[in-house]
């Protein structure tokens, strides 16, 4: 009886290990599928450059419309 108990414990451990590996793979696959929901990071310098370009474009547009 004692021998049977050890073999079933090993079998259960094997199943548990395989299930945990499978669960980890599923989590990784789902993580790759679901891309980041937050917007891409833009550095402070890049934001300043974009804002300067937009202001430059707006000032050019106002000059063109005034003429």
Q: What is the phi/psi pair of residue 24, to 5°?
A: -65, -40
pTM: 0.41
> Looking up tokens 């004692």, which residue turns up?
2
Give the total residue count for the chain. Answer: 67
Give the pLDDT of residue 44. Answer: 96
Give the pLDDT of residue 67. Answer: 57
Each residue's pLDDT tens digit, 8-60: 677 778 899 999 999 999 999 988 887 777 788 999 999 999 999 999 988 88
- CB-count burial class (<10 Å; 0-12, 13-18, 19+) for 41: exposed
Backbone Cα Rg of the chain: 30
DSSP 40: P
């Amino acid at each position: 009886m004692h021998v049977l108990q050890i073999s079933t414990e090993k079998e259960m451990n094997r199943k548990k290990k395989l299930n945990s590996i499978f669960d980890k793979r599923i989590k990784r696959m789902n993580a790759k599928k679901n891309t980041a929901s937050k917007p891409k990071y833009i550095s402070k310098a890049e934001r300043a450059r974009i804002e300067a370009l937009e202001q430059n474009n707006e000032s050019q547009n106002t000059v063109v419309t005034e003429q």
